Every structure is written in structure tokens, then in C-alpha cells.
């Protein structure tokens, strides 16, 4: 293994209310209309929040994906708030989904370390 990870990001458009309500579930659902289900898997989900944000504000790291004929659920192991929200260059809103890359979001490297230790009262 060369250490490289496919940096494809499925960017999903949503309202801030929907994002906050589903943030605790650590799952992103795609379904209903067959066009709403991503054709490919990805290691990352980008969250485009509609107005007034009108930007990609967070990136989720996918832990596993469960698919059926009518839906797909991407379970996340982490959600990262971007230091700077990413605006769509031509100003269009993202309603369902688009494919981006980490690089197109301005992310050159993403390094996370997870361990079983917790610091209390830092």
C-alpha cells in the first residue's frame, strides 16, 4: 500500500436544521429517487449548507456504507468543521449531490489519529 487514499468527496446539499438534527446520528442517507443515490462510494462526505451559509462547512470521514436498491447510508466515524467554508465558484447551490475531491476543497492532506485514551479536565 502506498499510503494514498482515494480523495473523492460526495458533497451533499442540506439545510442547517437537517444537518444539526442528523449530526448526532453520524449517518448520511441517500434515497427516494434513484438519482439521489450516489453511483460510486467515497471515503468522504462534504456538507454543503444552504443559505445563509451557502458553502461546504464540514467533511465527514466514512467508516462504512450500506446499500440497497432504493437507498444508501454512509456511516461516519468523524465530522470535521472546515476552518474556512468552501464556496461554490459559480455560485450555484448544491441540492442533491456532487463529486468533488479533497484537493478541490483546498485540503492537501488529512491526517487523523484515533486512540482509546481520553483526557479529562484538560
What's the rounded mean pLDDT across residues 16-32? 82
C-alpha cell at 16: 442547517
Q: Is the pLDDT of residue 119 over 60?
A: no
16-25, Cβ contacts within 8 angstroms, sequence gap of 24 or more: 16/49, 16/50, 16/53, 19/47, 19/49, 19/58, 23/79
pLDDT of residue 121: 39
Question: pLDDT (tens digit, 9 = 90+) per residue, 32-77?
Answer: 787 888 988 999 999 988 888 888 899 999 999 999 888 999 999 9
Span between the terminal Cα atoms of the chain, in Å:
37
pLDDT of residue 118: 45
Name the band, by pLDDT with cuts 50, 70 and 90, for residue 92.
low
Please report the domains of the chain, with CATH numbers, ordered by start residue.
Answer: 8-105 (2.30.130.30)
Amino acid at each position: 500500500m502506498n499510503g494514498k487514499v482515494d480523495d473523492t468527496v460526495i458533497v451533499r446539499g442540506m439545510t442547517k436544521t437537517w444537518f444539526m438534527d442528523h449530526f448526532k446520528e453520524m449517518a448520511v442517507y441517500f434515497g427516494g429517487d434513484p438519482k439521489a443515490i450516489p453511483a460510486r462510494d467515497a471515503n468522504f462526505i462534504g456538507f454543503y449548507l444552504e443559505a445563509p451559509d451557502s458553502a461546504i462547512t464540514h467533511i465527514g470521514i466514512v467508516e462504512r456504507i450500506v446499500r440497497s436498491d432504493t437507498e444508501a447510508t454512509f456511516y461516519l466515524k468523524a465530522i470535521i468543521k472546515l476552518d474556512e467554508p468552501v464556496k461554490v465558484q459559480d455560485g450555484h447551490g448544491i441540492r442533491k449531490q456532487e463529486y468533488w475531491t479533497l484537493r478541490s476543497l483546498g485540503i492537501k492532506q488529512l491526517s487523523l489519529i484515533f486512540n482509546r485514551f481520553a483526557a479529562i479536565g484538560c
